[in-house]
Structure 1
Amino acid sequence: MPTRLMMIHQGVQELIATYKPREFAIEQIFMHANPNSALKLGQARGAALTVAALHGLPIGEYAPKAIKNAVVGTGAASKAQVQHMVKVILGLQGPLQSDAADALAIAVTHAHHLQTGISQVRGGHAGAWE
């Protein structure tokens, strides 16, 4: 697991260096049936959030239902519905991998929240530890 966390850290670092984003958005942890999986997900999120915080990026965190609601109009949307609407909203053609659709849905949600002034953003840091 430490090697994977380092890869996540380095990957996010490279993305930030390449694209120079002004914001960072991530999905909140959801209730998971397998505690071990939830722990690993939390560690992965921590690696990504650390890089964003080190760069001073405002961080938006969104619950899965909030993402589905922002993209499809209902928090009960299926993955296929989210994937379809991401393609429609962004004018994308051809197949879209599930992980890419999820990431783009988070970005669309964050952009929507920034436009409407409904903020889930924490200035430069994330989480309840502030």
Structure 2
Amino acid sequence: MVRILGIDPGLRCTGFGLIDKQGSQLIYVSSGCIRTDEKTTLPERLAVIYRGIREIVETYAPQQAAVEKVFVNVNPQSTLLLGQARGAAITALVSTDLPVGEYTALQVKQAVVGNGKAAKEQVQHMVRRLLSLPGDPSPDAADALACAIAHAHGGQGLGGIATVGLRVRGGRLMEAPRTAASTSPPIARKKT
């Protein structure tokens, strides 16, 4: 069994979702949002995200994590803030030695719905069906769970890249080939 933590980064609300993968079966563990106070400073909000993710990792002990990638949108300021929230989330994950896979929204939707241009409601519905939930999760939690599901399926052959020295292939973590540009040692992982 492998426990996977999915993260949908956001400055106002960072979604999280945990699933267990047992063979080909996916089992829901937990999901929710880490909310920040818009009245506080940016560093304080980033600290809330960082601490919230660390607390989730300590509570649920996932073995792998998956984070949605961010792309530039119409508003550069929003993109920058979202990137900073994503950075806080990834830093929290790698500080606990978790291997982190990264997936675009298109890859996540393709893996979960079968259509890279699926609407949020379709993602929520498919997450509900795949995990046998009694109702649709919130949009942020659904996106995080979808990211974890995509990772559990090995990115559907999309070659999700994990942290330094690791690569996701067929749902398994493998040592990535070393190159001259990659001089950092691989991250030590805890045995489970």
Fold shared, TM-score > 0.5 on shorter chain = yes
Q: Which runs of 5+ in 2 are unaligned?
A: 1-41, 167-180, 183-192
- State the partner residue of 1:40: 81
The answer to whether 1:121 aligns with 2:158 is: no
Question: Structure 2 CA distance, aligned partners of 1:125 and 1:2?
Answer: 30
Q: Which moved more, 1:94-103 or 1:77-86?
A: 94-103
Change in 2 beyond 3 A, CA 1:63/1:38: same
TM-score calculated relative to the size of structure 1: 0.89
Query: By how many angstroms is 1:52 displaced?
Result: 1.1
Question: Structure 2 CA distance, aligned partners of 1:53 and 1:18?
Answer: 16
Structure 1 runs of 4+ aligned residues shifted over 3 Å read: 116-119, 123-126
- State the partner residue of 1:21: 62
Question: Structure 1 CA distance, aligned partners of 2:86 and 2:165?
Answer: 13
8 Å CA contact 1:30, 1:64 repeated in 2: no
Question: Structure 2 CA distance, aligned partners of 1:68 and 1:123?
Answer: 22
TM-score calculated relative to the size of structure 2: 0.61
8 Å CA contact 1:6, 1:47 repeated in 2: yes
Structure ranking higher in helix proportion: 1
Structure ranking higher in strand proportion: 2
Question: Structure 2 CA distance, aligned partners of 1:118 and 1:68?
Answer: 12
Q: Which runs of 5+ in 1 are unaligned?
A: none
8 Å CA contact 1:70, 1:109 repeated in 2: yes
8 Å CA contact 2:124, 2:136 repeated in 1: no
Instruction: Show the 5 A alignment for 1:63-74.
Output: 63-74=104-115
Letter in 2 for 1:57: L
Please report the RMSD computed on the Cα atoms of aligned residues, expressed in angstroms: 2.1
Change in 2 beyond 3 A, CA 1:125/1:59: farther
Question: Structure 1 CA distance, aligned partners of 2:54 and 2:165?
Answer: 16
8 Å CA contact 2:54, 2:96 repeated in 1: no
Query: By how many angstroms is 1:117 displaced?
Result: 6.3
Residues 73-111 of structure 1 show CA distances to partners (whole Å, capped at 9, x for unaligned) of 010111111110000111111242111111111111110
- State the partner residue of 1:106: 147
Identity %: 46
